[in-house]
Amino acid sequence: MYILEFKVDQSAKAALEQIRRKRYHQAFWNLGKPVVAVGVNFSGKTKNIEEWKAETVDEGR
């Protein structure tokens, strides 16, 4: 299961923090599959992906 959060002119880290803070991943743990959070930041100036990060989210986080 993948959870994606997109930001513009912020950071991929901020996107991952939002996923954790709002616990978007919690509903998917009962499915018995790994949950991967992906944070993506777009540049408003270049209109391209500026940065992205991914991490596996487990129940202990």
Q: Rounded CA gap, 9 and 2, in Å?
A: 22
pLDDT digit string (tens) for 6-52? 999 999 999 999 999 999 988 887 788 889 999 999 999 999 999 99
Residue range of the domain that includes 6: 2-57
Placement of tokens 């100036």 in the chain: 45
3-state secondary structure of 10: coil
- Residue 35's CB is within 10 A of a number of other CB atoms, namely 21
Q: pTM here?
A: 0.86
pLDDT over 80 (residue 60) = no
* Surface-to-core class of residue 12, CB atoms within 10 Å of its CB (0-12 exposed, 13-18 middle, 19+ buried): buried
The structural domain count of the chain equals: 1
